[in-house]
Amino acid sequence: MNNPQTDNFPEGPSFRRALNARYRSASLWQMVFLSALLIAILSLMTLLYTVADGAFGYVAYEYKHDPTEFSSTPLNELGKDELLSILQSNLSAGAFKKLDNEKPMASRSHADLYSLFLERLLQIDTKQIWSMTDSFLHAAEIRAEATHKYPDAQLEFRSWLTPQFLSSPMSSRAEFAGVRTAILGSLWLVGIAILFALPVGTGAAIYLQEYASKNWLTKIIQTNINNLAGVPSIVYGMLGLAIFVRLLEPLTSGAAFGVIDSNGRTVLSAGLTMGMLVLPLIIINAQEAIKAVPDSLRQASFGVGATRWQTVWHHVLPNALPGILTGSILALSRALGETAPLIVVGASTFISVDPSGPFSKFTALPIQIYQWTTRAQPEFHAIAAASIIVLLILLLSLNAAAILLRNRFQRKY
């Protein structure tokens, strides 16, 4: 051990002391990371709890009219035929005809007729609603308060998220409003956005990675794409308004294809705007995925006399596909949740007709949520909370579908 450098390393007890110090700082950092994780989980739980808190709970409600005015049968024993005759005899002839035209009354379900009965005849009137936490913790007080303040009212524990809520269109009364139109609008929107952005973005990424020579121009383009990913979404809304809604109105309104009586504020315009919004995201992700394909694979392909296009099509793309799809999952989530650009390009705030094609007027879930949260009546806040749950579930299931698709393409080496 006469190497002079050996003396510069701690030995024996002093080495152990130094080692203990290293372990101490290591466990300190470990604690820091763990608490970061806990904070993240906690915030997420709080978020979910707040949403659920609003979507479930006690409601006190009255009927404007007494059920006995229409029938002597107790409400929960009313049969389908009886409901039909009650509606027929109590609604105005015009109103009944209108409903019958929408969907023949005789073919409607019991639940459908019952909700018509509640909405049109009994005219439910929500007096007060309580949060889920209150409903669980202070059930007795709530019951006492309700009987005291609203002696005629009924009290029930309600989930605002019901199958009815999913399948009903928009309504001016929170008790009967649903999100069907908004869900369909959101699906159309995301579908159009991905249909536009995925091929265009992947194409651009292929060009940038595999064809473009690395010069100052590509550097500028690359920097711009990276920056575009961070541009506030409202700016994309303005862009969409100027280009798709106004400039390309003949195309986006469908006027050029024979659609009459329509303007540029269609689901197509909004979808394309969303497509622009997620385009940088998709390009960057696809580039990363293409970069991750090992060069040895490209060399192998060129080595057997493949052209660049054959190399890209047969080797680079298939191997980058899982990564590209991961990018589209991110894009999907972004498009589903964005609100600001939709407001700018003109999503409808009150619409009860399902979108039937690219040239339809539309609304989307975030717009609907935003609308309802701005209303004064608390029952609208409750259905806003319920729609947030719908939005989250939709998000998770679309992502799950995309992940399943990706795993199918994942290569098993």
Partner 1 sequence: MQNNPPEHTITTKDLSIFYGNFLAVTDVNLNIESRKITAIIGPSGCGKSTLLRAFNRMNDFVPSSHVTGEILLHGQNLYGADIDPVEVRRKIGMVFQKPNPFPKSIYENIAWGARINGFKGDMDDLVEQSLRSAALWDEVKDKLKKSAYELSGGQQQRLCIARTIAIQPEIILMDEPASALDPISTLRIEELMQELKQKYTIIIVTHNMQQAARVSDYTAMMMLTGDSRSGTMIEFSETKLIFTNPRDKRTEDYVTGRFG
87: left (phi over 0), alpha (psi -120 to 50) or beta: alpha
The nearest distance, CB 313 to partner 1, in angstroms, is 10
Q: Does 20 bind partner 1 (CB under 8 A)?
A: no
Q: Is 88 in the site for partner 1 (CB under 8 A)?
A: no
Which one, of 154, 172, 137, 175, lies nearest residue 386 by Cα?
175
| 252 lies in the site for partner 1, by CB under 8 A | no
DSSP state of 57: E
Does 216 contact partner 1 by CB under 8 A?
no
What's the min distance (Å) between Cβ of 397 and partner 1?
Answer: 31
Kindly compute the dihedral angle of the four CA atoms of residues 313, 314, 316, 319, in this order, to the nearest 10 degrees: 120
Minimum distance from residue 294 beta carbon to partner 1 (Å)? 8
Report the distance separating Cα 316 and Cα 140, nearest Å: 66
Return all residues near 267 (Cβ < 8 A) that are at least 6 apart: 185, 188, 189, 192, 355, 358, 359, 360, 361, 362
| Minimum distance of partner 1 from residue 311's CB (angstroms) | 10
Closest CA to 379 of 131, 51, 118: 131
Q: b or e along 224-234 (b: 16 or more beta carbons within 10 Å of the residue's beta carbon)?
A: ebeebbeeebe
User: How many chain residues bind partner 1 (CB under 8 A)?
Assistant: 22
From 225-233, 281-289, 314-322, 398-406, span contacting partner 1 (CB under 8 A) = 314-322
| Whether 208 contacts 222, CB under 8 Å | yes
Q: Is 410 in the site for partner 1 (CB under 8 A)?
A: no
Segment lying near partner 1 (by CB under 8 A), choices 64-72, 95-103, 187-195, 310-318: 310-318
Q: How much of the chain is helix, strand and coil, in % rounded to 5?
A: 70, 5, 25
- Count, residues in the chain: 413
**Rounded CA gap, 359 and 265, in Å?**
8
In the complex with partner 1, the residue whose CB is nearer, 64 or 214, is: 214
Report if residue 212 touches partner 1, rule: CB under 8 A: no
Nearest to partner 1 of 76, 215 (CB atom):
215
Q: Per-residue string for binding with partner 1, 158-197, x by CB under 8 A?
A: ----------------------------------------
Residue with tokens 């018509």: 116
Residue 119-148 contact track with partner 1, rule CB under 8 A, x = bound = ------------------------------
Residue 125 phi, psi dihedral angles, 5° rounding: -135, 105
Site string for partner 1, 267-296 (x = CB under 8 A): ---------------------------x-x
Least distance (Å) between residue 308 CB and partner 1: 9
CB of 412 to partner 1, least distance (A): 7
Q: Which long-range contacts (CB under 8 A, 24 or more apart) does 44-51 make?
A: 51/385, 51/388, 51/389, 51/392
- When asked if residue 223 is in the footprint of partner 1 (CB under 8 A), the reply is no
Residue 412 binds to partner 1 (criterion: CB under 8 A): yes
Q: Which of 301, 328, 360, 368 binds partner 1 (CB under 8 A)?
A: 301
- Residue among 218, 302, 334, 354 that touches partner 1 (CB under 8 A): 302
Choose which of 122, 228, 259, 306 interacts with partner 1 (CB under 8 A).
306
Residues 295 and 385: their CA atoms lie apart, in Å, by 50
Q: Does 407 contact partner 1 by CB under 8 A?
A: no
Which residue's structure tokens are 């939005």?
Answer: 391
Check binding of 209 to partner 1 (CB under 8 A).
Answer: no
Quote the CA–CA distance of 329 and 105 in Å, as a whole number. 42
Q: Look-up: residue for tokens 């049968």?
A: 73
Residues that bind partner 1 (CB under 8 A): 213-214, 294, 296-307, 310, 314-315, 319, 411-413
